[in-house]
Amino acid sequence: MALIVQKFGGTSVADIDRIRNVANRVAQTSDQGNSVVVILSAMAGVTDKLISLANQASENPDKREMDVLLATGEQTTSALLAMMLKQMGYKAQSMLGHQAQVMTDSDYGNARIIDIGASRVRKLIEKDTIVVVAGFQGEDTKGNITTLGRGGSDTSAVAIAAALKADTCEIYTDVNGIYTADPNICPKARKLKMISYDEMLNMASLGAKVLQIRSVGFAKKYNIPVHVRSSFNEEEGTMVVSEDSAMEQLVVSGVTLDKDQARITLTKVPDQPGIAAKVFSPIAENNILVDMIIQNTNIAGHTDITFTVPKADYKRTMKLTEQIVKQTGAQEALGDINIAKVSVIGVGMKNHSGVASVMFNTLARDNINILMITTSEIRISCTVEEKYAELAVRVLHTAFGLDTEE
Amino acid sequence: MALIVQKFGGTSVADIDRIRNVANRVAQTSDQGNSVVVILSAMAGVTDKLISLANQASENPDKREMDVLLATGEQTTSALLAMMLKQMGYKAQSMLGHQAQVMTDSDYGNARIIDIGASRVRKLIEKDTIVVVAGFQGEDTKGNITTLGRGGSDTSAVAIAAALKADTCEIYTDVNGIYTADPNICPKARKLKMISYDEMLNMASLGAKVLQIRSVGFAKKYNIPVHVRSSFNEEEGTMVVSEDSAMEQLVVSGVTLDKDQARITLTKVPDQPGIAAKVFSPIAENNILVDMIIQNTNIAGHTDITFTVPKADYKRTMKLTEQIVKQTGAQEALGDINIAKVSVIGVGMKNHSGVASVMFNTLARDNINILMITTSEIRISCTVEEKYAELAVRVLHTAFGLDTEE
Q: Which residues of A117-136 are buried (b: 16+ CB within 10 A; e: fewer)?
A: ebebbbebbeeebbbbbbbb
**Rounded CA separation B357/B346 (Å):** 15
Candidates B77, B6, B47, B43; CA nearest to B150 is: B47
> Tell me, what amino acid is at A270?
P
Which residue numbers in chain A have pLDDT < 70? Answer: 204-209, 245-249, 406
DSSP character at residue A191: B
How far is the C-alpha of A287 from the C-alpha of A313, rounded, in Å? 10
pLDDT at site A209: 67
Backbone angles phi, psi at B173, to 5 degrees: -145, -170
A130 touching B (Cβ < 8 Å): no
Q: What secondary structure does DSSP assign to A361-392, as a single string?
A: HHHHHTT--EEEEEEETTEEEEEEEGGGHHHH
Give the pLDDT confidence score for residue A217 in this predicted structure.
Answer: 87
Q: What is the pLDDT of residue A289?
A: 85
Residue type for position A381: S
Strand ordering across the sheet containing A262-270: A293-295, A302-309, A262-270, A332-336
Contacts B50 to A, Cβ<8 Å: 76
Q: Return the CATH architecture of domain A3-174+193-243.
A: 3-Layer(aba) Sandwich (3.40)
DSSP B118-139: -HHHHHHHHTTPEEEEETTEEE
Q: Which distant-in-sequence residues (6+ apart) come within 8 Å of A85 by Cβ?
A: A23, A26, A27, A92, A130, A132
ipTM: 0.79
Strands (E), A231-320: 238-241, 254-258, 262-270, 293-295, 302-309
Q: Considering chain B, what is the average pLDDT of its residues?
A: 91
Cβ contacts of B81 on chain A, cutoff 8 Å: 57
φ and ψ at residue A232, rounded to 5 degrees: -105, -5
Backbone angles phi, psi at B54, to 5 degrees: -60, -40
Topology of the domain covering B249-401: VC0802-like (3.30.2130)
Hey, is B318 helix, strand or coil? helix
Asked whether residue B360 carries a pLDDT value surpassing 80, the answer given is yes
Taking alpha carbons only, the member of A237, A231, A234, A210 closest to residue A17 is: A231
Confidence check: pLDDT of B396 > 70? yes
| Cβ–Cβ below 8 Å for A65 and B86 | yes
CB A121 within 8 A of CB A133: yes
pLDDT for the residue numbered B304: 87
Q: Strands (DSSP E) along A137-205, which ranges? A: 137-139, 145-147, 168-173, 194-196
User: Which burial class, exposed, middle or buried, applies to A31 when counting CB atoms under 10 A from its CB (0-12, 13-18, 19+)?
Assistant: exposed
Q: Does B51 touch chain A (CB under 8 A)?
A: no
CATH class of A248-406: alpha beta
Yes or no: say if B342 and B392 are a contact pair by the CB < 8 Å rule. Answer: yes
* Paired strand residues for B295: B305
Amino acid letter at A282? P
Q: Is the Cβ of B93 closer than 8 Å to some Cβ of chain A? A: yes
* Domain boundaries of chain A, sorted by first residue: 3-174+193-243, 248-406
Per DSSP, B301 falls in state T
The whole-number pLDDT of residue A248 equals: 57
**Residues B373, B342 contacting (CB under 8 angstroms):** no
- The CATH homologous superfamily to which domain B3-246 belongs is Acetylglutamate kinase-like (3.40.1160.10)
pLDDT of B377 higher than 90: no
**Contact call for residues A118 and A54 (beta carbons, < 8 A):** no
H/E run at residue B208:
none
Q: How far apart are the first and last CA of chain B?
A: 39
pLDDT at B224: 93
Report the distance separating Cα B166 and Cα B163, nearest Å.
8
Express each pLDDT in B28-77 by its tens digit: 999 999 999 999 999 999 999 999 999 999 999 999 999 999 999 999 99
Contact A82 B65 (CB under 8 A): yes
Inter-residue contact B85 to B123 (CB < 8 Å): no
Q: What is the pLDDT of residue B101?
A: 95
Q: Output DSSP code: residue B174.
A: S
**pLDDT, tens digit, for every residue of A17-65?**
999 999 999 999 999 999 999 999 999 999 999 999 999 999 999 999 9
What's the pLDDT score for residue A246? 56
Alpha carbons B367 and B388: distance in angstroms, whole number:
9
Interface contact A83-B61, CB threshold 8 A: yes
Cβ neighbours of residue A287 closer than 8 Å, sequence gap 6 or more: none
pLDDT of residue A206: 55
Q: How far apart are CA B338 and CA B386, in angstroms?
A: 5
- Asked if A66 lies within 8 A of B83 by C-beta distance, the reply is yes
Task: Convert the pLDDT of each residue in B179-232 to its tens digit.
Answer: 999 888 999 999 999 999 988 888 865 555 678 888 998 899 999 999 999 988
Contacts of B86 in chain A (CB under 8 A): 58, 62, 65
B54 part of contact set with chain A, CB < 8 Å: yes
If you write DSSP's letter for every residue of A152-164 in order, what string do you get?
HHHHHHHHHHHHH
Beta carbons of A136 and A42 less than 8 angstroms apart:
yes
pLDDT at residue number B275? 82
- The whole-angstrom separation of Cα B75 and Cα A97 is 15
Over residues B365-386, mean pLDDT: 90
Which residue out of A18, A51, A55, A62 would a mutagenesis test of the B interface target, given it has the greatest number of B Cβ atoms within 10 Å? A62
CB A49 within 8 A of CB A73: no
Compute the average pLDDT of residues B338-351. Answer: 88
The pLDDT, as a whole number, for residue B208 is 54
- The pLDDT confidence band at residue B347, using thresholds 50, 70 and 90, is confident
Q: Which of A53, A62, A84 sits opposite B86 (nearest CB)?
A: A62
